[in-house]
A and B are shown apart, each in its own frame.
Chain A
Amino acid sequence: MATEIRMEKLRCAFGSTVAVDDISMTFPAESVTCLLGPSGCGKTTLMRMLAGLQDPSSGEIYFGNQRVTDLTPSERNIGMVFQYPVVYRGTTLFQNVELPLKRDKSVSKTERQRRVESILESLNLKHLANEDVAALDNATRQKAAVARAVARQPQIILFDEPITNVDVNAKVQLKQALKELVKQHSQTIIYVTHDQTEAMTLADEIALMEKGKIVQRGIPGELYNNPNSRFGGWFLGNPGMNFVEHPLTTHDGGLALGAPLFRQLIRLPALQGLNSVMVGIRPERVVLGEETPQSVSGQVLRSALVIGGQYLVSVKIGAVVVKAKIARETPFEAGAIIPVNCPLPDVKLFSPSGERLDVTLT
C-alpha cells in the first residue's frame, strides 16, 4: 500500500546555514511529487531526511500515520535511486533486481521470480537479464537500479536526480521507462531534480524550492502559467518570464498603470501601500509586429534562433528590454521599430518584492 508523506515543521541546519527551513506539507499518496529547484535550494537535504540519511534539526516526518522521524533508512520501507547507479558487480542483472526481494521472507520464490520478470519486461531489459551488470552501460545500470527499487514494492520510492548522469539518448529512454512504471505501479514517488523539463514531464505535482522553503506546489501547467512569485516565473521557462517595473499613477481617482509596456492606462483595483508593480509576461506570449490600441513601439536589438527555429527577439522599449519568442521564418532586423503587444490575459503582476498580486487586468 502506498502512503502519504507528511512533514511537520521540518528543519535542517548546518551551522548557520539553514538548508531546509520549517517545511510543513503533505506529499500525497500514489502520486509523483517532483522537488524542483536550483542547486543549493535544499531539495537534496529534504529528500535525505525523508530517506533517513540525514537527521532533521527539528520537526517530524510521518509516513501515513506512522511517525518515522527516528527510524533508520532500512526501517522506513522505502526504495531509493541515486544520481549514480548503485549495482552489485559480479552478479547478473536479474540477481541485482532480485536481491532485496530475497531478504523479504514474506515473498515466495515464485512470486519473486514473477515480480522480477514483470519489471524487467516493462523496462525493456528482459533480454539482458543474464548479463553481468559490470558489462552494461551506465544508463542500463541505472534502469537496473530503478527496477530493483520498484520490484520490492516499497510504499515510497525516492529518486535523486536519477537521469542527470546518463547521455542524451538514454535520458529519453529512461524518462519513457519511468513514466511507464509510474503508470503501472501506484507507489508514492518523490523525485528530486534541478531540470524543469524532467519535472514538468514526470510530475503529478511540482514542489518548487527556493532557499530551504517550498515556495509553490501545483500541477506543472499551473506552476508554469501562474507562478506565485517572481522566482517561479524566472526559474521555469527558457528563458524565464520578462519582468518590467511599472510605476503606478493616479487616474480617475484610482490607480493605473501604463508606460513602458502599455500605451493606454489600465485601471487597477486598490493596491495598498504600493507605488509600483512588476509586470511579468512569458516571452512566448509577447506579440510582435501587430499594431493594437494597447501596443507600444520597440526597437529590435537582436534576433537569435532558438528551439524549433523560433526567434528570441530582444526589443528595447524606452529604457527596458523585453524578450519575445516567436515562430517565423525570417528574423526581425536589428534596429527595426515594431509594435510590441503584451496581451492582458497573459500579464501577471507582482509586488516589487516579488510576490504575485491577485489582480486580473482588463
Chain B
Amino acid sequence: MIVLEFRQVSKKFKQVVIAQEMNLQIRDGSFSVIFGAPGTGKSTLLRLITGLDQPDKGEIYLRGENMAKVSAADRNIGYVPQSFALYPHYSVFDNIAYPLQLMGVRRVDYTSVVEQVAQQLQITHLLQKKPDQCSGGEKQRVAIARGIVKNTKIFILDDPLTGLDFKLRERLFDDLRQMREDLGATFIYTTSDPLETLILAEDIHVLDGGQIIETGPTPQLYWQPKHVRTMQLLGFPNTNVLPGQVENGHCVVGNLRFPLEMNGNSAHAGESRVAVRPQHLQINPSSGSGFLTAPAEITLVEDLGGDLHVYLALNQTPLEALIPNTSIDLLTEGSATIGIHPRHMRVYDAASGQYIGQGRA
C-alpha cells in the first residue's frame, strides 16, 4: 500500500528547481530513504510533505487523501529535525511533550505517553535533565522521542545523524531500524550519505536534478542501478565512471575494448559512461584471469583496518579501489597495474544516463 504519493509535483525554492513534475511513492510501513547529494533540495521536499511549504504545481496524497487543503497541524506526521533543535530551558520531559502540548493534550493524559516513549528509547533517566546536561547521542534520542511522541505512523527524519561522531552513528543505525520495526511505522528519511542510506533503507529513492531518477529496494539499486547517477552516488568508496564509446556490440574505454551484453536494443551505439565499483578494481591482478589491465599510479593508500582504500590515477583520471587488508605485500604509493573484469563494467548511455548493458568475457 502507498502511504505517501507525489503526483507531478513541481517546486522552486529561491529560483532553484527542487522538483520538476516529480513522482514519488512511499510504501506503507517501509524505511524509505530519499537520497541525494547535498543541495538537491531534500529538506524542501520534506517541508512539502509536512505542509510547511506548498508545491507550485502537482498534488501530494497522504494516506490516500489529497493534502492541498490540509494544514500542517492536521497532517499528523512525526518530525525529527536535522539539528537537535531542543529547547534549552525546558527539561527533557517537556521537550518530548511539546508536540502534545501544542495539540492541547492535558498533562495528566500525556505523562504516561512521554514516559513510555522515553522507556522505548532508554532515556527515562534523563527526563528531568536539561538538554545541555545530555551527551550528543542522548540529545539525538530526545529529538527522536519528541518526533515519535505523537500517535502517528508516519515519521519524517531530516538527516538526523549528520554531524554525530561515527561510533555513535554506528549504534544509532541499529536503533533506528529497530525503532521503525517496533513502531510498525513508515520512516521517510533523508541523507546525502551513501553508507547511511545503504545500511538503513529498505527502499531508496534517488533524488537528482529535481527528479526521483530511480526507486527500488536497496540491493537492487546497489547491484543493478538503471541510471548512471545512481551507480555513481550510491556507494562508498566512489564508483569509477569513465567515458567510453559503444559500437558493434563492443565498448571501448581508453585502450581497453570488451564485448557487451546488451540490455534490449542491441544496435545501440555512441558515447557512453562505463561504471566500475571500487571493489571490482583489482590491483596487480594475477595474469590469465580474464582481466583487462592498464598501468596506473597509486597516489594514496588509506588504511581502514579491514580494508584498504586505494586512490589511483589512470593517466590523469582519478580512480578508487577497495581491497581487503590481508595482502602480505605492503601496498604503497607508486606505479601499479589495475585489472577489471569485463563483467564488472556497467555501461550507460552518455546522454540519457540509462543502462545499456554490461561487459562479458
Residues of A within 8 A of B (CB): 38-39, 172, 175-176, 179, 194, 196-197, 200-201, 220-221, 224, 234-240, 282-284, 302, 304-310, 312, 314, 325, 327, 329, 331
Contact = CB atoms under 8 A, between A and B. Distances in A.
B305 A224 contact: yes
Contacts of B306: 237-238, 282-284, 325
Interface in B196-213: 198-200
B303 interface: yes
Given A308-B277, A309-B222, A331-B219, A201 B302 contact: yes
B341 interface: no
B11 to A, nearest CB: 27
Contacts of A194: 165
Contacts of A38: 165, 167
30 contacts: A38-B167, A175-B300, A175-B302, A179-B333, A200-B304, A201-B303, A224-B305, A234-B167, A235-B167, A236-B305, A237-B305, A237-B306, A239-B170, A284-B307, A304-B173, A304-B198, A304-B200, A305-B199, A307-B237, A307-B304, A308-B277, A308-B278, A308-B279, A308-B307, A308-B322, A309-B277, A309-B279, A312-B199, A327-B324, A329-B223
Contacts of B235: 309
A39 B137 CA distance: 13
A197 B304 contact: yes
A175 B303 CA distance: 12
Interface of B: 165-167, 170, 173-174, 177, 195, 198-200, 218-219, 222-223, 235-237, 277-279, 299-307, 309, 311, 322, 324, 333
Contacts of A196: 305
Given A307-B307, A309-B222, A312-B199, 11 more contacts: A236-B305, A304-B173, A304-B198, A305-B198, A306-B195, A306-B199, A308-B278, A308-B307, A310-B279, A329-B223, A331-B219
A179 to B, nearest CB: 7
A238 B199 CA distance: 13
Contacts of A306: 195, 198-199
Interface hub of B223, B304, B333 (most chain A Cβ within 10 A):
B304
Contacts of B301: 201
Contacts of B302: 175, 197, 200-201
A200 B305 contact: yes
A305 B218 CA distance: 8
Given A201-B303, A220-B303, A308 B237 contact: yes
Contacts of A304: 173, 198-200
A42 to B, nearest CB: 16
Interface of B is mostly: mixed
B222 A305 contact: yes
Contacts of A224: 303, 305
A334 to B, nearest CB: 11
A19 B270 CA distance: 63
A306 B304 CA distance: 13
B334 to A, nearest CB: 12
Top 10 closest A-B pairs, CB basis?
A: A200-B303, A308-B322, A308-B279, A284-B306, A305-B198, A304-B199, A201-B302, A224-B305, A176-B300, A237-B305
Nearest to B170: A239
Nearest to B135: A40
B304 to A, nearest CB: 6
Contacts of B278: 308
A318 B116 CA distance: 28
Nearest to A309: B279
Nearest to A176: B300
Contact of A39 (B165, B223, B279, B333): B165
A327 B279 contact: yes
Given A194-B165, A200-B305, A172 B300 contact: yes
Contacts of A239: 170
Nearest to B280: A309
Given A172-B300, A302-B177, A240 B222 contact: no
B265 to A, nearest CB: 26
A309 to B, nearest CB: 5
Nearest to B299: A176
Contacts of B303: 197, 200-201, 220-221, 224
Contacts of B277: 308-309
Nearest to A311: B219
Contacts of A221: 303
A307 B170 contact: no
B305 A238 contact: yes
Contacts of B195: 306-307
B312 to A, nearest CB: 12
A172 B279 contact: no
Nearest to A199: B303
Nearest to B166: A238
Contacts of A39: 165
Contacts of A307: 195, 236-237, 304, 307, 322
A234 B237 CA distance: 23
B61 to A, nearest CB: 30
A101 to B, nearest CB: 29
A220 B330 CA distance: 13
Nearest to B306: A284
Nearest to B173: A304
Nearest to B278: A308
Contacts of A331: 219
Contacts of A172: 300, 311
Nearest to B198: A305
Contacts of A176: 299-300, 311
A179 B278 CA distance: 23
A236 B301 CA distance: 18
A220 to B, nearest CB: 6
Contact of A305 (B173, B219, B307): B219
Contacts of A327: 279, 324
Contacts of B219: 305, 331
Nearest to B301: A201
Nearest to A307: B236
A305 B200 CA distance: 9
Interface hub of B170, B199, B278, B300 (most chain A Cβ within 10 A):
B300
Contacts of B237: 307-308
